[in-house]
């Protein structure tokens, strides 16, 4: 219902913009180097071939490998250990005000001449939180009892997620600020879209690989069948 409602709102508002919004033809458009789709892609390739941009893209594509498993798998492992999905979803509610406030606070530190300093400083803390998430997954079955999980367990999970959000947004806002700073104003939209796309891809591909590796790297034991291995999905089913 939630997705259906906002999907309908999205379709209606986008359609209204398409039908009602008109360009102001009286104003002289700003000179741009691109005139069409072909020119835009040619420009993108010329941007990527620049040594500084190429180096930055390689760095940003690999920068998030260290915490991809913690980001992608922790929630699934907590559910696997018995934490109700509804409770984890409810923990996202207190995160909303934090997600609104954090960019406002962090932007003060990324507005200077070196916005990536915030990115560098946040990275070791985010890596340490990956270890903390691993400890959280290990600790979860030990505190579970017949009535579920104690309140202090959810408090620890909430605090862990809050600290994670602080490091995540510190890195995210810093990258956005850097992309805005280095983008050529003449082709700002094209330039920023390219850098932000690479940045998003740098976060998505490690998470996908981490999820794909969960099964091969999970050690399983077959209870009551000492000679049977559970290494593959077929063996586990047997």
pLDDT (tens digit, 9 = 90+) per residue, 21-54?
Answer: 887 776 655 555 556 778 778 888 888 888 988 9
Percentage helix, strand, coil for the chain under 3-state DSSP, each rounded to 5? 75, 0, 25
- CA dist 77 to 49, 142, 218, Å? 41, 14, 11
- Is the backbone of residue 84 left (phi > 0), alpha (psi -120 to 50) or beta? beta
pLDDT (tens digit, 9 = 90+) per residue, 94-107?
Answer: 999 998 999 899 98
Question: Could you give the 3-state DSSP secondary structure of residue 148?
Answer: strand
Q: How far apart are CA 144 and CA 149, in angstroms?
A: 5
pLDDT surpassing 80 at residue 83: yes
**129 or 112, which is more confident?**
129
pTM: 0.77
**Residue 43 near residue 33 (C-beta atoms within 8 A):** yes
Q: How far apart are CA 161 and CA 163, in angstroms?
A: 6
Mean pLDDT of 145-155: 88
């Amino acid at each position: 219902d939630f997705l259906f409602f906002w999907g309908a709102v999205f379709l209606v508002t986008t359609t209204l913009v398409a039908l009602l919004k008109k360009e102001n033809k009286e104003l002289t458009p700003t000179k741009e180097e691109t005139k069409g789709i072909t020119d835009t892609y040619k420009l993108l390739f010329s941007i990527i071939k620049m040594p500084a941009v190429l180096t930055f893209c390689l760095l940003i594509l690999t920068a998030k490998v260290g915490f991809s498993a913690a980001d992608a798998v922790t929630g699934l492992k907590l559910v696997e250990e018995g934490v109700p999905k509804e409770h984890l979803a409810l923990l996202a509610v207190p995160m909303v005000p934090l997600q609104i406030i954090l960019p406002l606070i962090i932007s003060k530190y990324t507005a200077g001449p070196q916005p990536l300093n915030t990115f560098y400083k946040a990275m070791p803390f985010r890596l340490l939180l990956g270890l903390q998430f691993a400890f959280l997954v290990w600790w979860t079955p030990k505190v579970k009892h017949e009535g579920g999980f104690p309140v202090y367990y959810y408090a620890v999970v909430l605090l862990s997620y809050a600290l994670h959000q602080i490091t995540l947004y510190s890195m995210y806002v810093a990258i956005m600020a850097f992309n805005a700073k280095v983008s050529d104003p003449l082709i700002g939209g094209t330039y920023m879209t390219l850098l932000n796309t690479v940045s998003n891809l740098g976060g998505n591909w490690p998470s996908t690989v981490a999820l794909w590796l969960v099964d091969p790297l999970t050690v399983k034991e077959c209870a009551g069948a000492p000679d049977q291995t559970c290494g593959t999905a077929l063996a586990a089913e047997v």
